[in-house]
Structure 1
Amino acid sequence: MENPSSGQQTVASEVGNGSDLQVPVYSSSVELLTKLQEKWNSGKKQPSPAMYSSIFGGITLDPAMMAIPIDDHMVHRGHGVFDTAMILNGYLYELDTHLDRFLRSASKAKISPPFPRSSLRSILVQLAAVSQCRKGSLRYWLSAGPGNFLLSPAGCPTSAFYAVVIDVDYSQPKEGVKVITSSVPMKAPQFATMKNVNYLPNALSVMEAEEKGAFAAIWVDDEGYVAEGPNVNVAFISQNKELLLPAFDKILGGCTAKRLLALAPKLVEKGILKSVNTANITLEEGKSAAEMMFVGSGLPILPIITWDEKPIGDGNVGELTLALSDLLWEDMLTGPETHRVPIPYV
């Protein structure tokens, strides 16, 4: 039946069968947009001030329009990759490094971008500028594109590029967190080393940790070596003051982790650290470390003080962890513009 005042329709046969639920049917895009805008216009600050979509070829500031087609292969088949760059004080940190990894992931996923790298970069910088966000993150996706609901993307006319600015007032964390060893199987190296959108194992591992009162879970591979966290790398300070990160051959090579490896020798020169290396680290070696931390874009370093209910070191946030955190945070704020892209706000 039809409601003449609104143009909405409901399925009369289902209502006639005794159901109290009446599902509106919107035949007008204008009416549907109005409903969506009612949902978002609650007066609260929206977390995403701007989005770009190659589907309509531009930037929208309307959260009601920040959507992805249901027939996009990234939505219903998980055929997509993504990456993130942090926005801090009007700069995009490590944008080019993240963008290079993004394109490597796309190549592994057999997705060709709809635009050259220079155009992708320009879109991201313009999006950040239009958003007016000065602290947050810029997240972007490349998908096989919309077209059908089959497994093969052969019927998709072109790939799709999406990006969104997420307004987050993050700060340098200095309090320690608890972690557990994940029982969720980790991804095979082929998929772990590309930043693809299949984060179900990651989500399940975080949920497992939260159920046990921990912040996150850490994967250990089949050989007993420490791998990574759900969306961050792991780093250790050995009893001999060595900075050690698990090798990147089976896990995602974190951009921030690699930047840490490049910056940390400054502490070696000062005699604060003994050395900086990547290595295969056993579970026992990890738990016996003097200090432990997560390393990731939005942190950049998060101290870890307990693993599987066992304290790391003396169970307190370590001085070297904080020194490394200061080193990275200073690089994010005042580092060279080869790693910090200025945002030309409009």
Structure 2
Amino acid sequence: MASLRFLPPPQSQNLNSLSTDFVNRRVSYPQQQLNFTKITALTNSDSSSPLLDSKTQVLDVVPLLSSSEAYERLKTFREKIKGKQQYLAMYSSIFGGITTDPAVMVIPMDDHMVHRGHGVFDTAAIMDGYLCSLDQHLDRFLNSALRSKIDPPFDRENIRRILIQTVSASKCRNGSLRYWLSAGPGDFQLSPSGGHESALYAIVIKDLSPAVVTPESRGVKVITSSIPIKHPMFAVTKSVNYLPNVLSKMEAEEAGAFVGIWLDNEGFVAEGPSMNVAFVNKEKELIMPHFDKILSGCTAKRVLALAECLLKQGKLTGIRVKNVTVEEGKEADEMMLIGSGVLVCPVVQWDEQVIGDGKEGHITQALFDLIVEDMKSGPPIVRTLVPY
């Protein structure tokens, strides 16, 4: 298959002038600067085959694909990914239904969630065929949408029904459900005021290689994050604007730690990039930072409620939500991260300071056991049966 390729202008071309011409939209190429070279395309006759095998190869020809060819390439791309997660079902209000084909689990490029970050999301764990704390997560989801000026395409009850049916279609009994509300597709403008309809997306995820948690492996190191924390106006909203969270997590990984811990604008302990923080002080009080400047964690709030039984058993002397200084945190007997992804994870070192005796504490372990049991056999308020 022969085709034509444009070769770049000679090096003597004035690049500054060329850049200015592009800005003024009056670029012209003298005929002598255009060299046409016949080449052989890198792809074979099977248009579903990937063109590139590595970042170092040069793409000589960009193919023009038909709809079926584009789909086949998406399918091949998905089949080649050796990730730790499997996508079992997706709902999209754009096509008004559920698909179990990962190749078409996509959203439009002109969706304002993609190019402007104008969207919110939430998640719910699936355990033994039940959705955990679905209503609590859904309430936070809709509150985030309200703060983000996104009017949902359906009312709360219909959204809830769609989410449950998506899990049912997936046949997943242990995994997670993640869902988004977007300002919707329609253009690439800054504001969605051009009459867009908001969009709802949901996807069911199964972890293919869940971590095996043993007493010896539990316990992580954290660092104080140098990435600026979000302003409280945005921190309390679970939006898709997660660049600070991503950079904080990457900074921690580069330092050999699990996550970074954010401090608020007054220097008090705030939260991690995707989880809340709690401590057990030397007086055996469970303390947690206020939620007024950080995301109100559904798992964290459930842990606070479950901790009441430890109070009754005398294992805790108190439960408080308060401002926590860094000094208090580092001198605590126990420190833990709390969130839907980690449940209750013990922290054994913060920066250079070893927490307690450097091992998972008894209260942390007890709270982990309580939240797991709650997810497995808790009351109907925290468990929604999925009709498979």
Category of TM-score, reference length = shorter chain: over 0.9
Kindly tell me: are residues 17 and 334 of structure 1, through their superposed partners in 2, closer, same or farther at Cα, counting changes over 3 Å? farther
Partner of residue 36, structure 1: 74
Partner of residue 88, structure 1: 127
**What's the offset of the Cα at 1:17?**
6.1
Give the conservation status (yes or no) of the 8 Å contact 2:277–2:336: yes
**2:219 is the counterpart of 1:176:** yes
Partner of residue 13, structure 1: 6
- Which of 307, 317, 324 is the equivalent residue of 1:281? 324
Give the conservation status (yes or no) of the 8 Å contact 1:136–1:170: no
Give the conservation status (yes or no) of the 8 Å contact 1:49–1:131: yes
Deviations along 1:84-136, whole A, 9 cap, x unmatched?
00011111000000000000000000000000111110110011111111111
Kindly tell me: are residues 259 and 76 of structure 1, through their superposed partners in 2, closer, same or farther at Cα, counting changes over 3 Å? same
**2:102 is the counterpart of 1:63:** yes
- Which of 223, 236, 260 is the equivalent residue of 1:193? 236
2 CA distance for matches of 1:80 and 1:38? 29
Aligned residue for 2:6, secondary structure, equals helix
The residue type paired with residue 22 of structure 1 is D
- Which of 31, 37, 51 is the equivalent residue of 2:90? 51
2 CA distance for matches of 1:322 and 1:172? 15
Deviations along 1:148-184, whole A, 9 cap, x unmatched?
1110101252001001111026468450000000000
Identity value in percent: 57
- Which of 25, 41, 45 is the equivalent residue of 2:63? 25
Greater shift, 11-20 or 267-276, is seen at: 11-20
Partner of residue 335, structure 2: 292
2 CA distance for matches of 1:264 and 1:213? 31
Deviations along 1:251-282, whole A, 9 cap, x unmatched?
00000000111111111001111111100000
Kindly tell me: are residues 178 and 120 of structure 1, through their superposed partners in 2, closer, same or farther at Cα, counting changes over 3 Å? same
Segments of structure 2 that go 5 or more residues without pairing to the other structure are 9-34, 40-57
**2:379 is the counterpart of 1:336:** yes
2 CA distance for matches of 1:88 and 1:77? 34
**What's the offset of the Cα at 1:24?**
3.0
The residue type paired with residue 106 of structure 2 is A
Partner of residue 230, structure 1: 273
Segments of structure 1 that go 5 or more residues without pairing to the other structure are 5-9
Larger RCO: 1 or 2 (CA < 8 Å, sep 6+): 1
Give the conservation status (yes or no) of the 8 Å contact 1:81–1:197: yes
Give the conservation status (yes or no) of the 8 Å contact 1:144–1:156: no
Partner of residue 136, structure 1: 175
2 CA distance for matches of 1:81 and 1:311? 36
1 CA distance for matches of 2:304 and 2:366? 14
**What's the offset of the Cα at 1:42?**
4.5
2 CA distance for matches of 1:172 and 1:190? 37
Give the conservation status (yes or no) of the 8 Å contact 1:172–1:329: no
Give the conservation status (yes or no) of the 8 Å contact 1:135–1:170: no
Kindly tell me: are residues 266 and 185 of structure 1, through their superposed partners in 2, closer, same or farther at Cα, counting changes over 3 Å? same
Residues 132-171 of structure 1 mapped to structure 2, 5 A cutoff: 132-168=171-207, 170=210
Greater shift, 23-32 or 261-270, is seen at: 23-32
Partner of residue 7, structure 1: none
**What's the offset of the Cα at 1:71?**
0.4
Partner of residue 23, structure 2: none
Aligned residue for 1:128, secondary structure, equals helix
Aligned residue for 1:243, secondary structure, equals strand
CA-based RMSD of the aligned residues comes to: 1.9
Kindly tell me: are residues 119 and 172 of structure 1, through their superposed partners in 2, closer, same or farther at Cα, counting changes over 3 Å? farther
Kindly tell me: are residues 248 and 44 of structure 1, through their superposed partners in 2, closer, same or farther at Cα, counting changes over 3 Å? closer
Greater shift, 185-194 or 296-305, is seen at: 296-305
The residue type paired with residue 119 of structure 1 is N
1 CA distance for matches of 2:335 and 2:6? 61
Give the conservation status (yes or no) of the 8 Å contact 2:183–2:196: no
TM-score (norm 2): 0.83
2 CA distance for matches of 1:314 and 1:343? 43
The residue type paired with residue 339 of structure 2 is G
Kindly tell me: are residues 65 and 271 of structure 1, through their superposed partners in 2, closer, same or farther at Cα, counting changes over 3 Å? same
TM-score (norm 1): 0.93
2 CA distance for matches of 1:166 and 1:26? 33
Kindly tell me: are residues 243 and 149 of structure 1, through their superposed partners in 2, closer, same or farther at Cα, counting changes over 3 Å? same
